[in-house]
Amino acid sequence: MEALAARLATTRPQSLLVALRGDLGAGKTTFVRGFLRQLGHASAVKSPTYTLVEAYQTGGRRVYHFDLYRLNDPEELEAMGIRDYFESAGLCLVEWPEKGEPVLPLADLDIHITITEPGREVAISAHTDRGRTLLRQLNAEQQQQQ
């Protein structure tokens, strides 16, 4: 998870919304940790399960890590001013995005993590032009490495 996230972070997006889907323990927070580490964040990365969002300033960028697992009603997101996070030029990584629908905007990338034996299976889909561009970059890098 960390290696995949690091690859995405090396594309150096200026703004991005990534939806992270998967069961508990699938590796969503591990993905966020790898993304932040690649941008230069050296401190601990904790899941904002109770605060809903954790903000980081690293690598000259604002990164917002959302965990919506405990969200009771998507309208709570409106009350916290969530649209401001997505309208700013920041990187937003959202765990459990299905709990925030339909309030959340369309994700650039949707990453679905499935626990398999002995590891993880990841499916990435792009929903915007920015997401499609990043996915093409990731695929091109993958092909060059093979």
pLDDT tens digit sequence for 72-127: 898 888 888 888 888 777 899 999 999 999 899 999 999 999 999 888 999 999 99
Distance of alpha carbon 76 from the chain centroid: 20
Residue range 2-138 in CATH 3.40.50.300:
yes
Q: What is the pLDDT of residue 125?
A: 96
Measured N-to-C along each axis, helices 28-38 and 2-9 cross at an angle, to the nearest 10 degrees, of 40
Q: What is the pLDDT of residue 14?
A: 80
Nearest C-alpha neighbor of 62 from the set 85, 32, 84: 85
Q: What is the pLDDT of residue 124?
A: 95
Q: What is the pLDDT of residue 38?
A: 93
Distances (CA, A) of 90 to 13, 73, 84, 116: 9, 24, 10, 32
pLDDT tens digit sequence for 34-69: 999 999 998 888 888 778 899 999 878 899 999 999
- Burial environment of residue 69 by CB neighbours within 10 A (0 to 12, 13 to 18, 19 or more): middle
Round to whole Å and give the CA distance between 69 and 26: 13
Answer yes or no: is pLDDT of 146 > 70.
Answer: no
The number of residues making up the chain comes to 146
pTM of this structure: 0.91
Least confident of 13-27, 36-50, 124-138: 36-50
- Positive or negative CA dihedral for 136, 32, 55, 106? positive
The domain segmentation of the chain, as residue ranges, is 2-138
Round to whole Å and give the CA distance between 111 and 11: 16
